[in-house]
Amino acid sequence: MNTKSFLFLFSVIVPIFLFSQKKFAQLDHELPTANTYRTASGAPGHEYYQQKADYKMKITIDDKAQKLYGVETITYTNNSPDKLAYLWLQLDQNYLNQNSDSKLIEIEKMEDFRSIDDIQKRMFFYDGGFKIEEIKSLTGGKMNYSINKTMMRIDLDKPLLPNTSISFQISWWYNINDRMAVGGRSGYEHFPKEDNYLYTIAQHFPRMCVYNDVTGWQNKQFLGRGEFTLPFGDYEVSITVPADHVVAATGECQNYSNVLTAEQRSRLEQAKKSDTPILIITQKEAELTEKNKLTNPKTWIFKAVNVRDFAFASSRKFMWDAQNVKIGEKNVLCMSYYPKEGNPLWERYSTKLVAHTIKTYSKYTTNYTYPVAISVHSKSIGMEYPMICFNGGRPEEDGTYTENEKYGMWGVIIHEVGHNFFPMIINSDERQWTWMDEGLNTFVQYLTEQEWERGYPSRRGPAHLIADYMRGDKKTISPIMTNSESLFQFGNNAYGKPATALNILRETIMGRELFDFAFKTYCERWKFKHPSPADFFRSMEDASAVDLDWFWRGWFYGTDPVDISIDDVKWYQLNTQNPQTEKGVKKTENESKDVHIGVERNKLSIQQTVNEKDNLINDFYAKRNLYFVDTIDKIEYTAFLNKIDKSDLEFLNSNKQFYEIGFKNIGGLVMPLIIEFTFVDDSKEVVRIPAEIWRMYEDQVSKVFIFDKLVKSIRLDPFLETGDTDLLNNSWPQTAIPSRFQLFKQQQSVRENPMQRNKRVDELNKN
Region 670-729 residues binding other proteins, contact defined as CB under 8 A: 725-726, 728
Using CB under 8 A as the binding rule, whether residue 107 contacts other proteins is answered as yes
Contact letters for other proteins, residues 413-452 (x by CB under 8 A): --x----------------------x--------------
Residue 173's CB: how many other CB atoms inside 10 A? 16
d(CA 549, CA 702): 23
C-beta of 179 vs 316, nearer to other proteins: 179
From residue 586, give the alpha-carbon distance in Å to each of 109, 148, 164, 706.
73, 85, 90, 22
- CB–CB of 564/731 below 8 Å? no
- CB–CB of 677/718 below 8 Å? no
Smallest gap from residue 468 Cβ to other proteins (A): 5
Using CB under 8 A as the binding rule, whether residue 402 contacts other proteins is answered as yes
C-beta of 165 vs 734, nearer to other proteins: 734
Indicate which single residue of 27, 143, 156, 182 sits in contact with other proteins (rule: CB under 8 A).
182
CA atoms within 13 A on the CB side of 271: 24
C-beta of 475 vs 766, nearer to other proteins: 475
Question: Which residues share a beta bridge with 731?
Answer: 715
Pairing assessment for the beta strands 131-137 and 196-201 based on DSSP bridges:
unpaired
Smallest gap from residue 554 Cβ to other proteins (A): 19
Q: Which of residues 600-629 bind other proteins (CB under 8 A)?
A: none
Q: Which of residues 112-171 bind other proteins (CB under 8 A)?
A: 112-118, 120-121, 124
In the chain, what are the helix, strand and coil shares in percent, each to the nearest 5? Answer: 35, 25, 40
Indicate which single residue of 104, 110, 632, 764 sits in contact with other proteins (rule: CB under 8 A).
110
Backbone φ and ψ for 211, nearest 5 degrees, come out as: -120, 120
C-beta of 621 vs 741, nearer to other proteins: 741
Closest to 450 in 3D by CA, of 531, 374, 506, 493: 506
Smallest gap from residue 75 Cβ to other proteins (A): 31
Indicate which single residue of 69, 217, 490, 640 sits in contact with other proteins (rule: CB under 8 A).
490
d(CA 682, CA 685): 10
Indicate which single residue of 273, 586, 634, 745 sits in contact with other proteins (rule: CB under 8 A).
745
Indicate which single residue of 362, 458, 544, 665 sits in contact with other proteins (rule: CB under 8 A).
458
Closest to 476 in 3D by CA, of 463, 465, 487: 487
Smallest gap from residue 412 Cβ to other proteins (A): 7
Q: Is 398 helix (H, G, I), strand (E, B) or coil?
A: coil
Kindly indicate which of the ranges 99-107, 352-360, 544-552, 643-651 contains the residues binding other proteins, using the contact rule CB under 8 A. Answer: 99-107
Using CB under 8 A as the binding rule, whether residue 752 contacts other proteins is answered as yes
Indicate which single residue of 127, 263, 403, 762 sits in contact with other proteins (rule: CB under 8 A).
403
Number of residues that bind other proteins (CB under 8 A): 72
Q: Which of residues 377-396 bind other proteins (CB under 8 A)?
A: 380-383, 396
C-beta of 373 vs 494, nearer to other proteins: 494
Indicate which single residue of 457, 511, 584, 690 sits in contact with other proteins (rule: CB under 8 A).
457
Q: Which of residues 184-243 bind other proteins (CB under 8 A)?
A: 184-185, 224-225
Smallest gap from residue 125 Cβ to other proteins (A): 13
Helices and strands per DSSP (H, E), number in the chain: 23, 30
Using CB under 8 A as the binding rule, whether residue 488 contacts other proteins is answered as yes
Amino acid making up residue 715: R
Residue 651's CB: how many other CB atoms inside 10 A? 13
d(CA 652, CA 209): 74
- CB–CB of 626/584 below 8 Å? no
Smallest gap from residue 227 Cβ to other proteins (A): 8
Smallest gap from residue 175 Cβ to other proteins (A): 16
Kindly indicate which of the ranges 46-54, 111-119, 286-294, 701-709 contains the residues binding other proteins, using the contact rule CB under 8 A. Answer: 111-119
Residues with Cβ within 8 Å of 430's Cβ and at least 6 positions away in sequence, in order, are 226, 227, 228, 229, 423, 436, 437, 484
Sign of the C-alpha dihedral computed for residues 176, 181, 182 and 187 taken in this order: positive
Question: Which residues share a beta bridge with 373?
Answer: 334
Closest to 203 in 3D by CA, of 225, 183, 219, 187: 187
C-beta of 247 vs 413, nearer to other proteins: 413
Using CB under 8 A as the binding rule, whether residue 471 contacts other proteins is answered as yes
Kindly indicate which of the ranges 13-21, 34-42, 274-282, 401-409 contains the residues binding other proteins, using the contact rule CB under 8 A. Answer: 401-409
- CB–CB of 232/52 below 8 Å? yes
Q: Which of residues 635-664 bind other proteins (CB under 8 A)?
A: none
From residue 613, give the alpha-carbon distance in Å to each of 265, 600, 624, 729.
115, 20, 18, 53
Smallest gap from residue 400 Cβ to other proteins (A): 10
Kindly indicate which of the ranges 457-465, 512-520, 576-584, 627-635 contains the residues binding other proteins, using the contact rule CB under 8 A. Answer: 457-465
Closest to 100 in 3D by CA, of 121, 126, 82: 126
Three state DSSP letters for 329-393? CEEEEEEEEECHHHCCHHHHHHHHHHHHHHHHHHHHCCCCCCCEEEEEECCCCEEEECCEEEECC
C-beta of 115 vs 638, nearer to other proteins: 115
Smallest gap from residue 271 Cβ to other proteins (A): 30
C-beta of 438 vs 721, nearer to other proteins: 438
C-beta of 418 vs 579, nearer to other proteins: 418
